[in-house]
Amino acid sequence: MQKSDMLNHARTVLRDNDRGTYTVPTHGLYPFQWNWDSALSALGFSHFDEARAWTEIDTLMAHQWDDGMVPHIIFHEPDDGYFPGPDVWGTDRPTPTSGITQPPVAGFAVRRIHDRATDRDLADRMARTLVPKIHAWHQWFYRCRDPQGTGLVALLHPWESGRDNSADWDEAFARVPTDGVGTFTRRDTTHANPAHRPTDDQYKRYIWLVQKFRSLDWDNRKLHDASPFQVVDPGFNAILIRSCADLADLAEVLNLPDIATQSRALADKALAAMDTLWSDAAGQYLCLDRRLGALVPSLSIGGILAAFAPLPLNRVQALSARIETLAQSCTYLVPSHDPTTPEFEGLRYWRGPVWLIVNYMIADGLIRAGEGAMAERIMQDCARLIVKSGFAEYHDPITAEPCGGAHFTWTAAMIIEIFSTRDLVS
Ligand code: DGY
């Protein structure tokens, strides 16, 4: 496939999933606006329609809660093809939203889009509007998800991680009860192969947590301590740190010194705390189960995605070596779970498949640390997957089988982002 064919195809995916002011991840399976999908999709739009890229993030931030939280789903239009819908969340918003958040990649995306914008007036205007809102979201994280001031934030629901059914959560999730959940009908398994999705048992626990938080009126001053699930994810924290650091840089450029100083302080404190998640034995970062006060010995991509943060270079170089080890047990980098472990499932969502968005963020971090060869290899694998199996939501790291939803927005956005800057396909 020619590079131009691939880019044209990717743009068609974005246009087909464009609903005017926001983009759905894919038709059917995900019929609303998702938080980190939007921020990463905006990167793709920015290469051929800068105004549309800004609108994507502007729409997302328009639904920020008064306390600073930015929800993980915005239910712009009714659609009963998705469960759990607004009636289950019960967040009582003018436009219904979920009540939990998602990886805060918007700060990184806004800085990157601003840096390379050709319409400088529009970029400055939009960045000036968005930076204070994103900063309020970052402050919300450290206030509400790190009440003890450790420097690292906890996830209260696996859906917040974006890595919904990762093996990282198995032990902590087993402590989430299922009593009182009642019966419900999943819709995801009517759009996607059930073998590619989380299990029914996991869904019951997902819904138990939603009901628990709803019973507390979605009051973020109470949710952290009340949740039986409190997991500190290195990948999630790395995204937050990177966004804080990028926001600090952007705020300096925009002459917003208070935001610059505060964002830098948040990033620096968190960076120092990240080292408590490092495991020499694993050769990567690990999750912390905050309820138990113990690291989780689960070899997932969350501990490798940490490379996205401005970590000490020796740590990122060690992560590159860890990826080299993973390459010996798969065909396409980077598997979302170590293929040599019993938890690995090549087709099941975040228990093995490759996700282009994570590859992109890891590669970005590797380049900063002088690991360009490994970054290039990862991006080559992204290209090989798409050539072989199309713009799927995720792919089996051994067979390249396309999994989950098809015609997927952020997969296409990553191809545009990667291919607009390098020559990978001939
Ligand atoms: C889903 O519905 O699969 C999402 O990942 C939850 O946000």
Q: How far is the CA of 71 from the centre of ligand 1 (A)?
A: 13
Q: Is residue 330 part of a domain?
A: yes
Q: What is the pLDDT of residue 426?
A: 34
User: Residue 393 catalytic?
Assistant: yes
164 is catalytic: yes
Q: Which amino acid is at 1?
A: M
| 12 CA to centre of ligand 1 in angstroms | 24
Predicted pLDDT at 423: 59
pLDDT score, position 425: 44
Establish if 426 belongs to a structural domain.
Answer: no
Please name the residues in contact with 205: beta carbons below 8 A apart, sequence gap of 6 or more: 173, 176, 177, 178
Atom of ligand 1 nearest to the CA of 82: 2
For atom 4 of ligand 1, the residue with the nearest CA is 159
* CA 99 to centroid of ligand 1, rounded, Å: 13
- The CATH number for 294's domain is 1.50.10.10
Q: Residue 421 — φ and ψ, nearest 5°?
A: -115, -5
The number of residues in the chain equals 426
pTM, entire model? 0.98
363 φ, ψ (degrees, to nearest 5):
-60, -40
DSSP state of 278: E
Ligand 1 centroid to 296 CA: how many Å?
23
Q: Is the CB of 164 under 6 A from ligand 1?
A: yes
Q: Quick check: bond before 194 cis, omega within 30?
A: no
Q: pLDDT tens digits for 296-320? A: 999 999 999 999 999 999 999 999 9
Weakly modelled stretches of the chain, pLDDT under 50 = 425-426
pLDDT of residue 346: 98
**Count of the separate structural domains present in the chain:** 1
| Domain contains 10 | yes
Inside any domain, residue 301: yes
pLDDT of amino acid 65: 98
- 159 in contact with ligand 1, CB cutoff 6 A: yes
Q: What is the pLDDT of residue 29?
A: 96
Q: Among the options 37, 188, 371, 393, which is catalytic? A: 393
Name residue 402's beta-bridge partners.
395
Interacting residues of 399 by C-beta distance below 8 A, sequence separation 6+: 331, 346
| Residue 82 CB less than 6 A away from ligand 1 | no
* Catalytic option among 37, 56, 164, 289: 164
Residue 347: domain span: 3-421
Specify if 57 maps to a domain.
Answer: yes
Q: Rounded to an integer, what distance in angstroms lies between the CA atom of residue 20 and that of residue 58?
A: 12
Is the CB of residue 187 below 6 angstroms from any atom belonging to ligand 1? no
Q: Is residue 232 part of a domain?
A: yes
